[in-house]
Amino acid sequence: MSDYKVMAANSIMFFESSKLLKKVFDAAEKANNKELMAYYSVPYIVNKSFATEMAIKAILTKEGATFKKIHKIDELFKCLSAHWQTQIISGLKMVFNYSDAECDAELVKIGNAFVDWRYFHEKSNHINLGFFNVFVEIICQICYKECKT
């Protein structure tokens, strides 16, 4: 798939579905239903990570960049132009007041979220949802804005 608009549309589908999963998760949390919270947290993270992967790939494809067929968000992030990397890191730093090194460390931690969480039964996983959510929002907003044209 090389059409950046198709990739962006794919990203939107997974991003929007993650929003629905989050609403169900929030309702389960409000009801203190831990079983439902567990059911919906994993697909929420998987959908959001895949949306992020596709958003980055759409931006890269639109810009004519080459990249490996990988799921690792942190490695795909490094393929983005310096302009986009700087803009994304600046947005993260505004929210979290992190240094560049702290942002890099958090990116590495969420880098393999798609694989780690879709195979969550294989090992114990932890994710900084605050950082992850803001990163995804920034990436997806850039993708949707840049790939509309």
pLDDT tens track for 4-52: 999 999 999 999 999 999 999 999 999 999 999 888 988 999 999 999 9
Per-residue pLDDT band at 149 (split at 50, 70, 90):
low
- Residues with Cβ within 8 Å of 87's Cβ and at least 6 positions away in sequence, in order, are 138, 142
- Domain of residue 111 covers 4-147
Beta carbons within 10 angstroms of residue 115's beta carbon: 14
- pLDDT at residue 148 greater than cutoff 90: no
CA dist 139 and 77 (Å) reads 9
- Number of domains within the chain: 1
- pLDDT at residue 127 greater than cutoff 90: no
Contact 114, 27 (CB under 8 A): no
pLDDT tens track for 79-126: 999 999 999 999 999 999 999 999 999 999 999 888 888 777 776 778
The model's pTM is 0.90
Tokens of 113: 């979220």
Contact 118, 46 (CB under 8 A): yes
Check the CA dihedral 96-100-106-110 and report its sign: positive
